[in-house]
Structure 1
Amino acid sequence: MRPIMLLQPLEILQLAMTQLNNRIEIVTDKAFVGLENSLNELDLSHNKLKHFSVESIDYLKFLKVLKLTNNFLNLKKLFLQNNSISVIEMGAFKSLNSLQYLDLSKNYITYLDELFSNVQKSLTVLLLDSNRLSLLNKSSFANLKNIKILSLQNNRLNKIQLSTFNELNNLHTLNLSYNNIAYIDGVLSTMKSLHELDLTGNKIRVLKNATFENSKLVHLNLSNNSLTNVQFDTFDQMKQLKWLMS
């Protein structure tokens, strides 16, 4: 795909095959030069992308919507951090059959409901640091059964529903640091593979026996919270715990 030359700023660029009968295979790093101060929405759905240069959107300061639905990318890692993305269409990652690593950090994402419901089971690392998430529920990570590393640090999380992580049977590392979480009792009870948990910088005041029930944690960080009450048997069930910071 050659650079697009325009005489005036463009806010929405639709290059979907269904509308223009395109067959775009390659997007180079300078494909959208000239649109860095205006483009809000980019639609490359239903093409035949084989190579997508992440650098092509790095300089799009105002990009909020990116659509890559139904392509044939063989990507294993996708870095979309430090943009202005606030909305990602459900199914945007559906055709990324080999995707293993996805970084969406430092954007303006506010909700995840069913966003990853069509993500391929190849995904093992998901980074959502420094967004604007405030609520997590069962649909937030639906279908991410093979995820091993999940990072949500520095969001606005204040509520995590009990069933949020029920399907994450292979999750090894979870970072929830620097949020507004005050209560996590029962949230972690189904996470049999979780070994590392970072809860630094939250608003947790009370720890009970049920807080880490059935836990297999090896590393636990509770520093910079507001702990005032820790029940005497809180850590009794944590037979594998080797490192604790509080």
Structure 2
Amino acid sequence: MGKLRILIFWVGACAAVDPRIVEQEKCTLNDRRVSIYPECMQGSNLILWCDYSNYTRIPDPDNIYRSKSCRNTLKLFVNDSCISELTEDQLKKYGNIEALDCGRNKIRILRRSVFRNNPNLKEIDLSRNYIKHIEHGTFSGLSRLEFISMSSNLLDEIVESTFGELDSLQRLSLHNNFITLLKNGTFRYLRHLKVLDLTGNEISIIEDGAFDGLDELEMLHLDGNKITGLKISILESLRNLKVLTLSHNYLTSFPPFQRTYFPHLHTLDVSRNRISAIEDSNLATLPKLQNLKLRDNELRSMQDDVFSTNEELRMVDLSGNNLTEIGRHMFANSCHLEELNLSDNRLKVFYLDWYLSVIGNGHPLGNDIGRNQWECTCDIYHLHKMLRYKKVWRQTFPSDCYAGLDNERQPTKCENAPLHLTPSYHCKKKTRTKSSKRYDYEAAYDVSAVRKQMELTTISSSTESLPTMNVSTIVMLVAFITALLAAATMVVTVIYLRRRHGMRHEKQRTSETGREDSIYIADPTSA
């Protein structure tokens, strides 16, 4: 057995090929790739796969099979092949094609009117090539085109005419290129574009009017660039924007949203920048903001009124900053808060007010407040008393904060201490959605009501911590028990049959032995 394992190991080691060698030898005489599809394979719905081939051009649909033509192909895949150039002649026989996927080839340039004979194209994926230049009019005539992916190429410039006359385009991916500048009117003619991905470029300058014409844009991704500042005038035309990501840049100040109203923006990611301060006016024009990521910046303190107008907040990530102080009433109006990450800061004083909405909305365990410098206060004791999850945050707070928690009979200084919770007038009459729980915020108005609410929360949390079983779990458990009983019955039956068969065989053998003895005695000549 040991020799067999060694043999299998050496066979696998010899079969493994360094991916760098594969890439260098690709499309050469030493190409050692495993050809998954030796020839093109045609699937259902008129799909043609020619991936992992040595094709240097788009295959002729009339010469792929001898008995039939593939001109009616709707989706053509020629990924990871040896195509070095796309021409109009190569694609003219695919008049009905709707999706073209030629990723991971060796294409270096896109010629003018290369898709002239393919007016039905809806999706084009040319990612992971060597494209450095796109000629004017490359995509002309494609009035139905909805998706273009030019990611992981060598593009360093996008001009106004590059994607002109594409009224139906909805998604454009340009991530992982070398674009350094976005000029005025670059995307002017993409009126129906909804998703623009510019992640992983080298953009450092965005001119005014660069996003003009993008009236229906909903998602803008600018992560991983070299942006040091963002003028609000650049984003003024994006009134329908819902998601804006600016992580991994060099922003030193929070984007000045206070000058323009963004009624639909619900996700904002400015993590991993150099932002040192944030004011209440920065978020005042974002009434629908739900997800805010500010992790790994240089924030030091935040005041009470920062989120005063953001009542729809669901998730706030402030981890990895230099926070030493947070306003006690900062989340007083955040009635829908579900996740609050304060880990990896320098906070010392913990306030139970921060997590009232989180606990009330039923998400006490989806938060992280670790790796701070917490001081032992009564709010920590009441937090554990409320949640009854004593082991969840045991490494978060100092050990002396657990006095009285392990032994419920032991009195503590915080047992009868009054709670000074934030009276949230905005959350008093608000309710959560149907799928979420409702928390009684009226309990924040007097200490007796708070203690009563804490007792109810303790009981409910302790019952919720028990494993619950729905119908599918019960059915699976019954099926498992039934299968176990059937297996046991089968084993018992087999054992019984084997014993019975053995007894019968023994009895038959005994009778045959007696018969042979009688024959032996009756035949005197056998002696």
Which range is displaced more, 115-124 or 132-141?
Answer: 115-124
Alpha-carbon distance in 2 for matches of 1:52, 1:170: 23
Residues 73-129 of structure 1: per-residue CA shift (max 9 Å, x gap): 421111100111112332221212221111110001113342444133221111111
Pairing 1:64–2:160 present: no
Deviation at residue 170 of structure 1 after TM alignment: 0.6
Aligned to 2:182: 88
Unaligned runs of 5+ in 1: 4-10, 16-21
> SS where residue 233 of structure 2 aligns?
helix
**How far did 1:29 drift?**
6.2
| 1:75 matches 2:169 | yes
1:103–1:128 CA contact under 8 A, matched in 2: yes
| Partner residue, 2:216 | 122
- Distance in 2, matches of 1:236 and 1:140, equals 33
Paired residues of 2:258 and 2:285 also in contact (CA < 8 A): no
Q: Could you tell me which residue of structure 1 aligns to residue 292 of structure 2?
A: 197
String of CA shifts for 1:146-192, please: whole Å, max 9, x gaps: 11111111111112353467232210111111111111112111110
Aligned to 1:197, what secondary structure does the other structure show? strand
| Match 1:225 to one of 321, 325, 330 | 321
Q: Distance in 1 between matches of 2:320 and 2:267?
A: 19
Q: Greater shift after overlay, 41-50 or 221-230?
A: 41-50
| Equivalent position of 1:155 in the other structure | 249
Deviates more, 1:68-77 or 1:211-220: 68-77
Q: Is the contact made by 1:116 and 1:143 (CA closer than 8 Å) also made in structure 2?
A: no
Identity of aligned residues (%): 26
In structure 2, relative to structure 1, the CA distance for the partners of 1:54 and 1:117 (3 Å cut) is closer
Partner of 1:173: 267
TM-score w.r.t. length of structure 1: 0.78
Deviation at 1:134, TM superposition (A): 1.1
- Residue 13 of structure 1: how far off its partner (Å): 9.0
Structure 2 CA distance for partners of 1:200 and 1:47, relative to 1, 3 Å: same
| Residue number in structure 1 paired with 2:87 | 2
Distance 1:194 1:58, change over 3 A: closer
Runs of 4+ that moved beyond 6 A: 11-14, 26-30
Partner of 2:251, secondary structure, is: coil
State which drifts further: 212-221 or 169-178. Answer: 212-221
2:310 is aligned, of 215, 218, 230, to 215
The residue matched to 2:292 in structure 1 has which SS? strand
Equivalent in 340, 343, 347 of residue 244 of structure 1: 340
Distance 2:293 2:228 in 1: 17
Which protein shows a greater Rg?
A: 2
Q: Is the 8 A contact 1:175 1:198 kept in 2?
A: yes
Moved more, 139-148 or 114-123: 114-123
Classify 1:97/1:23 alpha carbon distance in 2 versus 1 (closer, same or farther; 3 Å): farther
Asked whether the 8 Å contact 2:212–2:237 carries over to 1, the reply is yes
Rate the CA distance shift 1:111–1:167 in 2: closer, same or farther, 3 A.
farther
Equivalent-residue separation in structure 1 for 2:157 and 2:182 (angstroms): 6
The answer to whether the aligner puts 1:99 opposite 2:159 as a matched pair is no
TM-score, length basis structure 2:
0.39
Structure 2 unaligned regions, length at least 5: 1-85, 89-107, 343-527
Distance 2:183 2:141 in 1: 19
Q: Could you tell me whether the CA contact under 8 Å between 2:286 and 2:310 is conserved in 1?
A: yes
| Distance in 1 of aligned mates of 2:321 and 2:141 | 49
Displacement of 1:64: 1.1
Greater displacement, 125-134 / 44-53? 44-53
Q: Which is richer in helix?
A: 2
Question: Alpha carbon RMSD of aligned pairs, Å?
Answer: 3.1
Mapped partners of 1:58, 1:234: distance in 2: 41
Partner residue, 1:146: 240
Structure 1 residues 137 and 213, CA, compared in 2 at 3 Å: closer, same or farther? farther
- Cα–Cα, structure 1 residues 163 and 173, in superposed 2: closer, same or farther, change >3 Å? closer
Write the distance in 2 (CA, Å) between the matches of 1:222 and 1:206.
11
- Residue in structure 1 matched with residue 7 of structure 2 by the alignment: none
Cα separation, 2, equivalents of 1:213 and 1:112:
31
Cα separation, 2, equivalents of 1:233 and 1:78: 42
Amino acid at match of 1:203: E
Aligned equivalent of 1:44: 136
8 Å contact kept, 2:244–2:268: yes
CA gap of 1:49–1:87, structure 2 versus 1, over 3 A, is farther
Give the C-alpha shift of residue 212 in structure 1: 1.9
